Copies of this chain bind each other. A is one copy, B any other.
Protein backbone atom coordinates (compact mmCIF):
# COMPACT_ATOMS: atom_id res chain seq x y z
CA UNK A 1 0.00 0.00 0.00
CA UNK A 2 1.42 3.37 -0.99
CA UNK A 3 0.19 6.34 1.01
CA UNK A 4 1.51 9.89 0.92
CA UNK A 5 0.76 11.71 4.13
CA UNK A 6 1.64 15.38 4.23
CA UNK A 7 2.53 16.59 7.69
CA UNK A 8 2.51 20.24 6.56
CA UNK A 9 -1.01 20.08 5.12
CA UNK A 10 -3.86 21.90 6.90
CA UNK A 11 -5.89 18.68 6.50
CA UNK A 12 -5.45 16.66 9.70
CA UNK A 13 -3.45 13.45 9.32
CA UNK A 14 -6.43 11.34 10.36
CA UNK A 15 -8.50 12.80 7.54
CA UNK A 16 -5.70 12.33 5.00
CA UNK A 17 -5.29 8.72 6.05
CA UNK A 18 -9.05 8.09 5.93
CA UNK A 19 -9.35 9.59 2.44
CA UNK A 20 -6.35 7.76 1.08
CA UNK A 21 -7.43 4.41 2.45
CA UNK A 22 -10.83 4.95 0.87
CA UNK A 23 -9.28 5.87 -2.49
CA UNK A 24 -6.95 2.90 -2.25
CA UNK A 25 -9.85 0.50 -1.63
CA UNK A 26 -11.70 1.96 -4.64
CA UNK A 27 -8.76 2.05 -7.06
CA UNK A 28 -7.45 -1.36 -6.19
CA UNK A 29 -11.00 -2.65 -6.57
CA UNK A 30 -10.36 -4.64 -3.44
CA UNK A 31 -12.84 -7.37 -2.96
CA UNK A 32 -15.11 -7.46 0.10
CA UNK A 33 -13.43 -9.47 2.78
CA UNK A 34 -9.87 -8.34 1.95
CA UNK A 35 -8.00 -7.85 5.18
CA UNK A 36 -6.32 -4.54 5.99
CA UNK A 37 -2.94 -4.24 7.74
CA UNK A 38 -3.08 -4.36 11.51
CA UNK A 39 -3.08 -1.08 13.41
CA UNK A 40 0.43 -1.67 14.63
CA UNK A 41 1.80 -2.52 11.17
CA UNK A 42 0.21 0.46 9.45
CA UNK A 43 1.31 2.84 12.20
CA UNK A 44 4.89 1.57 11.98
CA UNK A 45 5.03 1.54 8.16
CA UNK A 46 3.68 5.09 7.88
CA UNK A 47 5.48 6.39 10.96
CA UNK A 48 2.25 7.71 12.43
CA UNK A 49 0.62 7.23 15.79
CA UNK A 50 -1.53 4.21 16.53
CA UNK A 51 -4.27 6.67 17.59
CA UNK A 52 -4.33 8.04 14.08
CA UNK A 53 -4.76 4.60 12.50
CA UNK A 54 -7.40 3.61 15.06
CA UNK A 55 -9.35 6.77 14.32
CA UNK A 56 -9.14 6.33 10.53
CA UNK A 57 -10.25 2.69 10.71
CA UNK A 58 -13.09 3.71 13.02
CA UNK A 59 -14.27 6.31 10.55
CA UNK A 60 -14.17 3.86 7.66
CA UNK A 61 -16.16 1.34 9.69
CA UNK A 62 -18.71 4.00 10.59
CA UNK A 63 -19.09 5.11 6.97
CA UNK A 64 -19.44 1.52 5.77
CA UNK A 65 -16.14 1.05 3.89
CA UNK A 66 -14.64 -1.35 6.37
CA UNK A 67 -16.01 -4.06 8.56
CA UNK A 68 -14.56 -5.01 11.91
CA UNK A 69 -14.60 -8.69 12.69
CA UNK A 70 -14.54 -10.04 16.16
CA UNK A 71 -10.98 -10.52 17.27
CA UNK A 72 -9.44 -10.69 13.82
CA UNK A 73 -9.10 -7.18 12.42
CA UNK A 74 -10.47 -4.89 9.74
CA UNK A 75 -11.76 -6.00 6.34
CA UNK A 76 -13.14 -4.36 3.19
CA UNK A 77 -16.94 -4.29 3.56
CA UNK A 78 -19.64 -5.42 1.17
CA UNK A 79 -20.54 -2.36 -0.84
CA UNK A 80 -23.75 -0.73 0.28
CA UNK A 81 -25.93 1.72 -1.63
CA UNK A 82 -25.61 5.35 -0.70
CA UNK A 83 -21.95 5.07 0.22
CA UNK A 84 -20.53 7.28 -2.49
CA UNK A 85 -20.16 10.42 -0.42
CA UNK A 86 -16.60 11.49 0.27
CA UNK A 87 -15.73 13.26 3.45
CA UNK A 88 -18.96 12.53 5.16
CA UNK A 89 -18.70 13.24 8.84
CA UNK A 90 -18.93 10.15 10.90
CA UNK A 91 -19.90 9.54 14.43
CA UNK A 92 -17.55 10.93 17.04
CA UNK A 93 -15.57 13.08 14.58
CA UNK A 94 -14.54 15.45 17.34
CA UNK A 95 -12.63 12.36 18.40
CA UNK A 96 -10.70 12.87 21.59
CA UNK A 97 -10.63 9.12 22.03
CA UNK A 98 -13.42 9.36 24.56
CA UNK A 99 -15.77 7.11 22.69
CA UNK A 100 -13.25 4.78 21.20
CA UNK A 101 -13.98 2.04 23.69
CA UNK A 102 -17.61 1.90 22.56
CA UNK A 103 -16.88 1.47 18.89
CA UNK A 104 -16.98 -1.77 17.02
CA UNK A 105 -13.75 -3.15 15.71
CA UNK A 106 -11.27 -3.24 18.54
CA UNK A 107 -12.29 -6.61 19.85
CA UNK A 108 -8.80 -7.86 19.29
CA UNK A 109 -7.31 -5.24 21.61
CA UNK A 110 -7.51 -5.48 25.40
CA UNK A 111 -9.51 -2.48 26.60
CA UNK A 112 -7.42 -1.81 29.69
CA UNK A 113 -8.99 1.61 30.29
CA UNK A 114 -12.61 0.72 29.75
CA UNK A 115 -15.39 1.32 32.25
CA UNK A 116 -16.91 -2.13 32.55
CA UNK A 117 -16.14 -5.64 33.73
CA UNK A 118 -15.27 -8.47 31.35
CA UNK A 119 -18.29 -10.50 30.20
CA UNK A 120 -16.84 -13.65 31.75
CA UNK A 121 -16.92 -12.05 35.20
CA UNK A 122 -20.64 -11.51 35.01
CA UNK A 123 -23.45 -13.56 36.49
CA UNK A 124 -24.42 -14.97 33.13
CA UNK A 125 -26.35 -18.02 34.24
CA UNK A 126 -28.26 -16.01 36.84
CA UNK A 127 -29.14 -13.24 34.40
CA UNK A 128 -30.10 -15.66 31.62
CA UNK A 129 -32.25 -17.54 34.12
CA UNK A 130 -34.05 -14.37 35.24
CA UNK A 131 -34.64 -13.39 31.61
CA UNK A 132 -36.19 -16.77 30.85
CA UNK A 133 -38.37 -16.59 33.94
CA UNK A 134 -39.72 -13.20 32.93
CA UNK A 135 -40.26 -14.44 29.37
CA UNK A 136 -42.55 -17.14 30.82
CA UNK A 137 -44.29 -14.82 33.25
CA UNK A 138 -46.81 -12.00 32.93
CA UNK A 139 -47.37 -11.14 29.23
CA UNK A 140 -47.69 -7.48 30.26
CA UNK A 141 -43.95 -7.51 30.92
CA UNK A 142 -43.31 -8.56 27.35
CA UNK A 143 -45.59 -6.06 25.68
CA UNK A 144 -46.76 -3.11 27.72
CA UNK A 145 -45.35 0.31 28.36
CA UNK A 146 -43.78 0.88 31.76
CA UNK A 147 -45.48 3.27 34.24
CA UNK A 148 -43.89 6.74 34.32
CA UNK A 149 -41.92 6.29 37.55
CA UNK A 150 -40.80 2.81 36.52
CA UNK A 151 -41.99 -0.67 37.44
CA UNK A 152 -43.45 -0.60 40.97
CA UNK A 153 -41.90 -3.92 42.03
CA UNK A 154 -38.40 -2.84 40.98
CA UNK A 155 -38.80 0.49 42.79
CA UNK A 156 -39.84 -1.43 45.90
CA UNK A 157 -36.63 -3.47 45.78
CA UNK A 158 -34.53 -0.36 45.21
CA UNK A 159 -36.26 1.21 48.20
CA UNK A 160 -35.20 -1.73 50.39
CA UNK A 161 -31.62 -1.25 49.23
CA UNK A 162 -31.79 2.46 50.09
CA UNK A 163 -32.96 1.55 53.59
CA UNK A 164 -29.87 -0.62 53.99
CA UNK A 165 -27.69 2.31 52.94
CA UNK A 166 -29.48 4.55 55.43
CA UNK A 167 -31.02 6.73 52.73
CA UNK A 168 -34.42 7.92 53.83
CA UNK A 169 -36.66 7.89 50.74
CA UNK A 170 -39.75 5.86 50.00
CA UNK A 171 -40.52 4.16 46.67
CA UNK A 172 -42.54 7.23 45.64
CA UNK A 173 -39.28 9.18 45.46
CA UNK A 174 -37.57 6.72 43.08
CA UNK A 175 -37.64 7.07 39.29
CA UNK A 176 -36.06 4.47 37.01
CA UNK A 177 -33.98 5.46 33.98
CA UNK A 178 -32.10 3.90 31.04
CA UNK A 179 -28.91 3.80 33.14
CA UNK A 180 -27.05 6.52 35.01
CA UNK A 181 -26.22 8.71 31.99
CA UNK A 182 -29.91 8.95 31.20
CA UNK A 183 -30.52 9.98 34.83
CA UNK A 184 -27.88 12.69 34.46
CA UNK A 185 -29.48 13.87 31.22
CA UNK A 186 -32.91 14.15 32.83
CA UNK A 187 -31.43 16.01 35.81
CA UNK A 188 -29.53 18.45 33.63
CA UNK A 189 -32.66 19.10 31.56
CA UNK A 190 -34.78 19.62 34.67
CA UNK A 191 -32.37 21.71 36.73
CA UNK A 192 -30.18 23.71 34.37
CA UNK A 193 -30.46 26.29 31.63
CA UNK A 194 -27.88 27.25 29.01
CA UNK A 195 -25.44 29.68 30.60
CA UNK A 196 -25.81 28.23 34.11
CA UNK A 197 -22.70 27.39 36.08
CA UNK A 198 -22.05 24.13 37.90
CA UNK A 199 -19.23 22.46 39.78
CA UNK A 200 -17.66 19.27 38.46
CA UNK A 201 -14.91 17.09 39.79
CA UNK A 202 -11.67 17.14 37.85
CA UNK A 203 -10.62 14.61 36.76
CA UNK A 204 -14.09 13.15 36.40
CA UNK A 205 -16.64 11.39 34.23
CA UNK A 206 -16.17 12.39 30.60
CA UNK A 207 -19.74 11.78 29.57
CA UNK A 208 -20.93 14.23 32.22
CA UNK A 209 -18.61 16.86 30.72
CA UNK A 210 -19.96 16.10 27.24
CA UNK A 211 -23.51 16.33 28.50
CA UNK A 212 -22.96 19.67 30.22
CA UNK A 213 -21.25 21.08 27.14
CA UNK A 214 -24.14 19.85 25.05
CA UNK A 215 -26.46 21.86 27.31
CA UNK A 216 -24.16 24.91 27.17
CA UNK A 217 -23.62 24.82 30.91
CA UNK A 218 -20.38 26.32 32.26
CA UNK A 219 -18.24 23.97 34.29
CA UNK A 220 -16.04 25.01 37.20
CA UNK A 221 -13.53 22.28 38.03
CA UNK A 222 -12.97 21.19 41.62
CA UNK A 223 -9.79 19.13 41.91
CA UNK A 224 -10.34 15.66 43.32
CA UNK A 225 -8.03 14.83 46.20
CA UNK A 226 -7.47 11.47 47.86
CA UNK A 227 -10.29 12.22 50.34
CA UNK A 228 -12.86 13.94 48.11
CA UNK A 229 -13.23 17.32 46.43
CA UNK A 230 -10.72 20.03 47.32
CA UNK A 231 -12.81 22.02 49.81
CA UNK A 232 -10.71 25.18 49.69
CA UNK A 233 -11.18 25.50 45.95
CA UNK A 234 -14.82 24.56 46.29
CA UNK A 235 -15.49 27.20 48.93
CA UNK A 236 -13.84 29.88 46.84
CA UNK A 237 -15.83 28.89 43.73
CA UNK A 238 -19.07 28.89 45.74
CA UNK A 239 -18.43 32.42 46.94
CA UNK A 240 -17.29 33.76 43.59
CA UNK A 241 -19.63 32.07 41.13
CA UNK A 242 -22.73 30.89 43.00
CA UNK A 243 -22.93 27.67 40.97
CA UNK A 244 -26.29 25.84 40.75
CA UNK A 245 -25.09 22.40 41.65
CA UNK A 246 -22.22 20.00 42.14
CA UNK A 247 -21.88 16.61 40.45
CA UNK A 248 -19.90 14.11 42.48
CA UNK A 249 -18.94 10.46 43.04
CA UNK A 250 -18.51 9.91 46.75
CA UNK A 251 -17.31 6.34 46.48
CA UNK A 252 -14.63 4.91 44.13
CA UNK A 253 -14.60 8.07 42.10
CA UNK A 254 -14.26 7.73 38.34
CA UNK A 255 -11.40 7.82 37.28
CA UNK A 256 -9.29 8.17 40.44
CA UNK A 257 -10.79 5.38 42.56
CA UNK A 258 -10.74 7.67 45.62
CA UNK A 259 -13.51 7.72 48.27
CA UNK A 260 -14.70 10.68 50.31
CA UNK A 261 -13.76 10.90 53.97
CA UNK A 262 -16.50 11.59 56.58
CA UNK A 263 -14.84 14.93 57.48
CA UNK A 264 -14.95 16.13 53.90
CA UNK A 265 -18.53 14.90 53.50
CA UNK A 266 -19.82 16.76 56.58
CA UNK A 267 -18.08 19.98 55.61
CA UNK A 268 -19.34 19.66 52.03
CA UNK A 269 -22.92 19.31 53.25
CA UNK A 270 -22.45 22.33 55.51
CA UNK A 271 -21.21 24.38 52.59
CA UNK A 272 -24.08 23.17 50.44
CA UNK A 273 -26.61 24.30 53.06
CA UNK A 274 -24.94 27.69 53.49
CA UNK A 275 -24.81 28.36 49.77
CA UNK A 276 -28.05 26.67 48.67
CA UNK A 277 -26.04 24.28 46.52
CA UNK A 278 -27.71 21.14 45.21
CA UNK A 279 -25.52 18.06 45.08
CA UNK A 280 -26.00 15.29 42.56
CA UNK A 281 -24.38 12.21 44.04
CA UNK A 282 -23.70 9.61 41.37
CA UNK A 283 -23.28 6.38 43.33
CA UNK A 284 -22.85 4.12 40.33
CA UNK A 285 -20.12 2.07 42.04
CA UNK A 286 -22.10 1.71 45.28
CA UNK A 287 -22.67 -2.01 45.07
CA UNK A 288 -18.96 -2.72 44.78
CA UNK A 289 -18.73 -1.64 48.39
CA UNK A 290 -19.53 -3.60 51.53
CA UNK A 291 -19.62 -2.39 55.11
CA UNK A 292 -19.58 1.22 56.27
CA UNK A 293 -18.94 3.95 53.72
CA UNK A 294 -19.46 7.68 53.48
CA UNK A 295 -22.37 8.73 51.33
CA UNK A 296 -23.76 12.24 51.13
CA UNK A 297 -27.33 11.03 50.68
CA UNK A 298 -27.09 9.11 53.95
CA UNK A 299 -25.82 12.11 55.89
CA UNK A 300 -28.10 14.61 54.18
CA UNK A 301 -30.83 15.95 56.44
CA UNK A 302 -31.67 19.08 54.46
CA UNK A 303 -32.55 17.41 51.14
CA UNK A 304 -29.64 19.05 49.34
CA UNK A 305 -28.63 15.75 47.78
CA UNK A 306 -30.10 14.09 44.71
CA UNK A 307 -28.99 10.49 44.64
CA UNK A 308 -28.57 8.27 41.58
CA UNK A 309 -27.11 4.90 40.70
CA UNK A 310 -27.37 2.09 38.15
CA UNK A 311 -27.03 -1.64 37.55
CA UNK A 312 -24.77 -1.17 34.51
CA UNK A 313 -21.50 -1.76 36.31
CA UNK A 314 -22.49 -4.63 38.56
CA UNK A 315 -25.13 -6.51 36.56
CA UNK A 316 -25.32 -5.56 32.89
CA UNK A 317 -24.57 -2.58 30.68
CA UNK A 318 -26.74 -4.15 28.00
CA UNK A 319 -30.02 -3.89 29.89
CA UNK A 320 -29.77 -0.13 30.64
CA UNK A 321 -31.32 0.21 34.09
CA UNK A 322 -30.54 2.99 36.53
CA UNK A 323 -32.48 5.23 38.88
CA UNK A 324 -32.63 8.59 40.57
CA UNK A 325 -33.91 9.52 44.04
CA UNK A 326 -35.18 13.07 44.45
CA UNK A 327 -37.70 15.20 46.33
CA UNK A 328 -41.31 14.97 45.15
CA UNK A 329 -41.50 18.16 43.03
CA UNK A 330 -38.29 17.35 41.18
CA UNK A 331 -39.28 13.72 40.74
CA UNK A 332 -42.59 14.75 39.16
CA UNK A 333 -40.68 16.97 36.73
CA UNK A 334 -38.20 14.19 35.89
CA UNK A 335 -41.03 11.74 35.27
CA UNK A 336 -42.65 14.18 32.88
CA UNK A 337 -39.38 14.69 31.00
CA UNK A 338 -38.82 10.94 30.89
CA UNK A 339 -42.23 10.40 29.29
CA UNK A 340 -41.96 13.32 26.88
CA UNK A 341 -38.52 12.26 25.67
CA UNK A 342 -39.15 8.56 25.22
CA UNK A 343 -42.36 7.27 26.84
CA UNK A 344 -40.53 5.61 29.64
CA UNK A 345 -38.17 2.74 30.16
CA UNK A 346 -38.39 -0.93 29.28
CA UNK A 347 -40.80 -2.86 31.44
CA UNK A 348 -39.22 -6.13 30.40
CA UNK A 349 -35.70 -5.31 31.53
CA UNK A 350 -36.95 -3.70 34.73
CA UNK A 351 -38.80 -6.90 35.56
CA UNK A 352 -35.62 -8.89 34.90
CA UNK A 353 -33.57 -6.71 37.27
CA UNK A 354 -36.38 -6.80 39.84
CA UNK A 355 -36.38 -10.59 39.64
CA UNK A 356 -32.65 -10.76 40.40
CA UNK A 357 -33.06 -8.39 43.34
CA UNK A 358 -35.97 -10.46 44.62
CA UNK A 359 -34.38 -13.87 44.43
CA UNK A 360 -31.03 -12.84 45.89
CA UNK A 361 -28.98 -13.68 42.80
CA UNK A 362 -27.97 -10.04 42.35
CA UNK A 363 -26.71 -9.83 45.94
CA UNK A 364 -24.72 -13.02 45.61
CA UNK A 365 -23.21 -12.09 42.27
CA UNK A 366 -22.13 -8.69 43.56
CA UNK A 367 -20.50 -10.35 46.56
CA UNK A 368 -18.50 -12.56 44.19
CA UNK A 369 -17.50 -9.52 42.13
CA UNK A 370 -16.36 -7.65 45.23
CA UNK A 371 -14.06 -10.45 46.30
CA UNK A 372 -12.66 -10.87 42.82
CA UNK A 373 -12.13 -7.14 42.34
CA UNK A 374 -10.43 -6.84 45.71
CA UNK A 375 -8.02 -9.64 44.80
CA UNK A 376 -7.26 -8.08 41.43
CA UNK A 377 -6.85 -4.65 42.96
CA UNK A 378 -4.39 -5.88 45.58
CA UNK A 379 -2.38 -7.83 43.06
CA UNK A 380 -2.23 -5.00 40.52
CA UNK A 381 -1.27 -2.38 43.09
CA UNK A 382 1.70 -4.54 44.07
CA UNK A 383 2.71 -5.06 40.44
CA UNK A 384 2.39 -1.38 39.55
CA UNK A 385 4.74 -0.48 42.35
CA UNK A 386 7.15 -3.15 41.29
CA UNK A 387 7.04 -2.06 37.62
CA UNK A 388 7.69 1.56 38.54
CA UNK A 389 4.24 3.09 38.15
CA UNK A 390 2.92 5.76 40.48
CA UNK A 391 -0.68 5.54 41.71
CA UNK A 392 -2.73 8.56 42.72
CA UNK A 393 -4.19 6.71 45.68
CA UNK A 394 -4.64 3.11 46.72
CA UNK A 395 -8.41 2.64 46.33
CA UNK A 396 -10.42 0.76 48.98
CA UNK A 397 -12.23 -1.05 46.21
CA UNK A 398 -14.01 -0.56 42.92
CA UNK A 399 -12.64 -1.06 39.42
CA UNK A 400 -10.26 1.79 38.81
CA UNK A 401 -6.70 2.74 39.56
CA UNK A 402 -5.41 6.13 38.41
CA UNK A 403 -1.76 5.67 37.58
CA UNK A 404 1.15 7.09 35.63
CA UNK A 405 4.79 6.68 34.85
CA UNK A 406 6.24 10.09 35.70
CA UNK A 407 7.63 11.70 32.58
CA UNK A 408 5.89 9.38 30.11
CA UNK A 409 3.27 11.12 27.99
CA UNK A 410 0.18 9.49 26.52
CA UNK A 411 1.54 9.21 22.97
CA UNK A 412 4.48 7.16 24.13
CA UNK A 413 2.29 4.99 26.36
CA UNK A 414 -0.18 4.40 23.58
CA UNK A 415 2.48 3.37 21.07
CA UNK A 416 3.73 0.80 23.52
CA UNK A 417 0.20 -0.32 24.39
CA UNK A 418 -0.80 -1.02 20.79
CA UNK A 419 2.40 -2.99 20.30
CA UNK A 420 1.24 -5.20 23.13
CA UNK A 421 -2.33 -5.47 21.86
CA UNK A 422 -3.71 -3.07 24.46
CA UNK A 423 -6.13 -0.16 23.88
CA UNK A 424 -5.84 2.70 26.36
CA UNK A 425 -8.32 5.42 27.24
CA UNK A 426 -6.40 8.70 27.32
CA UNK A 427 -6.21 10.55 30.62
CA UNK A 428 -7.26 13.67 28.70
CA UNK A 429 -10.73 12.15 28.37
CA UNK A 430 -11.18 12.62 32.11
CA UNK A 431 -10.14 16.25 32.14
CA UNK A 432 -13.05 18.67 31.89
CA UNK A 433 -11.28 20.57 29.11
CA UNK A 434 -9.57 17.59 27.53
CA UNK A 435 -6.13 18.72 28.69
CA UNK A 436 -3.47 16.14 28.02
CA UNK A 437 -2.39 14.09 30.98
CA UNK A 438 0.18 11.51 31.97
CA UNK A 439 -2.39 9.74 34.12
CA UNK A 440 -4.25 6.67 32.92
CA UNK A 441 -7.39 5.01 34.19
CA UNK A 442 -6.65 1.33 34.59
CA UNK A 443 -9.47 -1.15 35.04
CA UNK A 444 -8.09 -3.70 37.48
CA UNK A 445 -10.30 -6.46 36.11
CA UNK A 446 -8.13 -6.57 32.98
CA UNK A 447 -4.82 -6.07 34.79
CA UNK A 448 -3.76 -9.73 34.93
CA UNK A 449 -4.16 -10.36 31.20
CA UNK A 450 -0.74 -11.19 29.77
CA UNK A 451 -0.99 -8.26 27.32
CA UNK A 452 -1.67 -5.83 30.15
CA UNK A 453 1.17 -7.27 32.19
CA UNK A 454 3.63 -7.01 29.30
CA UNK A 455 2.57 -3.42 28.59
CA UNK A 456 2.66 -2.31 32.22
CA UNK A 457 6.03 -3.87 32.76
CA UNK A 458 7.59 -2.38 29.61
CA UNK A 459 6.10 1.06 30.18
CA UNK A 460 7.12 1.29 33.81
CA UNK A 461 10.35 2.70 35.19
CA UNK A 462 11.36 0.55 38.08
CA UNK A 463 13.36 2.40 40.74
CA UNK A 464 16.33 0.17 40.00
CA UNK A 465 16.44 1.27 36.31
Contact = CB atoms under 8 A, between A and B. Distances in A.
Contacts of A331: 91
A132 interface: yes
A173 B211 contact: no
Interface residues of A, number: 84
Given A152-B104, A339-B99, A135 B139 contact: no
Interface stretch (A121-129, A224-232, A421-429): A121-129
A339 B102 contact: yes
Contact of A342 (B132, B316, B320): B320
A417 interface: no
Contact of A104 (B92, B124, B147, B177): B147
A139 B152 contact: no
B340 A102 contact: no
Interface in A128-143: 128, 131-132, 134-136, 139-143
B346 A346 contact: yes
Contacts of A182: 341-342
Which of A159, A337, A339: most chain B CB closer than 10 A? A339
A405 interface: no
A211 to B, nearest CB: 5
A170 B349 contact: no
Interface in A97-119: 99, 102-104, 116, 119
A185 B336 CA distance: 13
B342 A179 contact: yes
Nearest to A212: B340
A296 B359 CA distance: 50
A87 to B, nearest CB: 10
B99 A119 contact: no
Contacts of A63: 172, 328
Contact of A332 (B89, B124, B169): B89
A145 B116 contact: yes
A142 B171 contact: no
Interface stretch (A77-85, A369-377, A445-453): A77-85
Interface string A318-352: 11100000001101100111011111111111000
B332 A172 contact: no
Contacts of A173: 82
B348 A148 contact: no
A64 B170 contact: yes
A320 B85 CA distance: 32
A207 interface: yes
A184 B62 CA distance: 23
Interface string A293-336: 00000000000000000001000111110000000110110011
A240 to B, nearest CB: 28
A171 B348 contact: no
Interface string A353-388: 000000000000000000000000000000000000
A80 to B, nearest CB: 4
A341 B211 contact: yes
Contact of A343 (B135, B145, B172, B179): B179
Nearest to A211: B340
Given A91-B331, A339-B99, A136 B143 contact: no
Given A147-B102, A207-B339, A82 B122 contact: no
A318 B144 CA distance: 5
22 contacts: A62-B172, A62-B332, A63-B328, A64-B172, A80-B170, A81-B170, A88-B332, A89-B328, A90-B332, A91-B331, A91-B332, A122-B143, A127-B143, A131-B134, A132-B132, A142-B316, A144-B317, A144-B318, A182-B341, A312-B343, A318-B346, A319-B348
Given A131-B134, A320-B342, 6 more contacts: A91-B148, A127-B135, A128-B135, A135-B135, A178-B342, A317-B343
> What are the 6 A-B residue pairs with the smallest beta carbon separation, nearest first?
A80-B170, A88-B328, A182-B342, A64-B172, A185-B341, A91-B335
